[in-house]
Amino acid sequence: MDNLEKEIELYVRNYTLALEKLVKENDQQIKSVGLKSPFPTEFPVRAVVCFEKRGFIVDYEKANKFEVSFKKDEGPRTKTGWSTFMFYPLFEKLKERASEKAQKDLDSFLDLPRMIKEHEEEMERQYEAEEREYWIAEIDYTIGHYVDYLGQAKEVVEETKKQAETELYGVVKIIQNHLSNYEFMLIVGCSALDRLYFMINSDMETSLFLALNGKYFAAAAILRKILEVNIRSTYLDSLQNRTDAEKTTEDWIKGGKFPKTFGQIRDDLISEQIDKKLSPLLKKRGIIQNDSLKESIVLLYRELNVFVHLRPETPWEEDLTFSFSEFKTEKFHSYHAQFTKVMQICEVLLVLRFPKLVSLPGLLVKTEIYTGLVLSKPELDEISSLCAVYVKPI
């Protein structure tokens, strides 16, 4: 281990010296990229090397002098803005090529704008067709697969499409927008949402699948999970103590009990002050129906709870069967309203805690990519500008 530590220390020293020189030589070009660099840009640095089973992690932070320290993997650690991971076999190949690695890292970073621009240009070419025609085609494609798998539900599916095409269009668009906005969870640092984002998207698709086939009760039950996972994740991503937040996230994902109740999370996310400031705007926009965002969230949560827990007031008892329900306009419209409410609340809370989400560009400078899920651009701007002033850290 002593020899390995010496080799790592020498590698880190040579890497940082080479990188420091390159950063000074390319300072203006680095700034022109307009993105946060994945390597140190201020020197000297302190490097903390944490050993793990398959390799080691190097965390860099600004310091008064260069130094390297070592520690074993002891669970959650405090991360800095500069962190790299290296497999032991890879290190054996690179330990004599620290300068090359520094140059390669810089070249990759400086090449990002070109790569991103080419990617976006390609994506733009793919989406030149009329938006509504595209979404209708997506609906037809999805429905085709559902019908193939569940032939007995064909009549229900066809009737749903015929009677509620506009609502279907809206739900599919929200699901696809949710998927395309994934990169912003990384940009604003939502690590919990990042880990659970695709699970949430899958739950949204499953909920629509059930509603499309007439299983409105089960579809609504999944909406409760979507609401709860979103709110818990937003809460964890809002915590200032990132070490505790990451440990809680890991324990929760592994099945551990969440340390706070739904009501406590809501109160932490929404102060009385921001509730008074934000609720009139949301009510005016029709996002909530009463005078309190906090109360609206509780009412929605309780409304969805009756689809999860068997109670005397449980609605739609006839759905508690193993057969597919017939298409019922009132139930589908009720489901559509619940789906919209859930996504509105989730997006309001996300923008509430991370207002920069609305104004930050995506991976390409000066290009706004965040399209929102349910809220319009004016609504997103109003909420983010208000929250940026009044929302306090947790």
Residue 367 in this model has a pLDDT that exceeds 80: no
pLDDT of residue 321: 46
Q: Do 159 and 34 reside in the same domain of the chain?
A: no
Comparing 315 with 5, the larger pLDDT belongs to 5
Bond preceding residue 44 cis, omega within 30 of 0: yes
pLDDT of residue 137: 79
pLDDT of residue 322: 44
Residue 148 in this model has a pLDDT that exceeds 70: no
Tell me the pLDDT band of 344, cut-offs 50, 70 and 90.
Answer: very high
Q: Do 364 and 242 reside in the same domain of the chain?
A: yes
Of these ranges, 185-189, 214-218, 219-223, the one predicted with the greatest mean pLDDT is 219-223
pLDDT of residue 382: 86
Domains held by the chain: number: 2
pLDDT tens for each residue of 228-246: 999 999 999 999 999 999 9
Taking the alpha carbons at both ends of the chain, their separation in whole angstroms is 41
* CA distance to 60, 69, 84, per residue, from 55 (Å): 17, 16, 11
Q: Do 222 and 105 reside in the same domain of the chain?
A: no
With respect to residue 115, please indicate whether it lies within any of the assigned structural domains. no
pLDDT of residue 192: 92
pLDDT of residue 151: 64
Tell me the pLDDT band of 149, cut-offs 50, 70 and 90.
Answer: low
* CA distance to 206, 224, 250, 259, 350, per residue, from 255 (Å): 21, 18, 9, 12, 24
Residue 160 in this model has a pLDDT that exceeds 50: yes
Give the lowest-confidence range in 100-104, 141-145, 318-322. Answer: 318-322
pLDDT of residue 326: 73
The contacts of residue 253 (CB under 8 Å, 6+ apart) are 195, 196
Q: Do 78 and 150 reside in the same domain of the chain?
A: no
Average pLDDT over residues 141-159: 71
Reported as half-sphere exposure (CB side, CA atoms, 13 A), residue 224 has a value of 17
With respect to residue 124, please indicate whether it lies within any of the assigned structural domains. no
Q: Do 73 and 157 reside in the same domain of the chain?
A: no
Comparing 339 with 137, the larger pLDDT belongs to 339
Q: Looking at 41, 76, 110, which one is the last position of a domain?
A: 110
pLDDT tens for each residue of 38-81: 888 888 999 999 988 888 999 988 899 999 999 876 666 666 66
Determine contact, residues 308/221, Cβ cutoff 8 Å. Answer: yes
Give the lowest-confidence range in 96-110, 299-313, 332-346. Answer: 299-313
Average pLDDT over residues 163-167: 89
With respect to residue 121, please indicate whether it lies within any of the assigned structural domains. no
Residue 320 in this model has a pLDDT that exceeds 60: no
pLDDT of residue 372: 77
Q: Do 140 and 103 reside in the same domain of the chain?
A: no
Dist CA 40 CA 62 (whole Å): 8
Q: Do 78 and 198 reside in the same domain of the chain?
A: no
Q: Do 150 and 281 reside in the same domain of the chain?
A: yes
Among residues 76, 56, 60, the alpha carbon closest in space to that of 68 is found at 60
With respect to residue 116, please indicate whether it lies within any of the assigned structural domains. no
With respect to residue 99, please indicate whether it lies within any of the assigned structural domains. yes
Q: Do 256 and 193 reside in the same domain of the chain?
A: yes
Q: What's the mean per-residue pLDDT of the chain?
A: 85
Q: Looking at 76, 110, 144, which one is the last position of a domain?
A: 110
With respect to residue 127, please indicate whether it lies within any of the assigned structural domains. no
* CA distance to 222, 228, 237, 269, per residue, from 233 (Å): 16, 8, 6, 11
Tell me the pLDDT band of 36, cut-offs 50, 70 and 90.
Answer: confident
Comparing 240 with 364, the larger pLDDT belongs to 240
Average pLDDT over residues 253-265: 91
Tell me the pLDDT band of 264, cut-offs 50, 70 and 90.
Answer: very high
With respect to residue 46, please indicate whether it lies within any of the assigned structural domains. yes
Q: Do 67 and 178 reside in the same domain of the chain?
A: no
343: containing domain:
134-390
pLDDT of residue 362: 57
Residue 361 in this model has a pLDDT that exceeds 70: no
Q: Do 368 and 309 reside in the same domain of the chain?
A: yes
Q: Do 86 and 209 reside in the same domain of the chain?
A: no
With respect to residue 335, please indicate whether it lies within any of the assigned structural domains. yes
**pLDDT over 90 percentage in the chain:** 38
Q: How many helices (H) and strands (E) does the chain have?
A: 18, 4
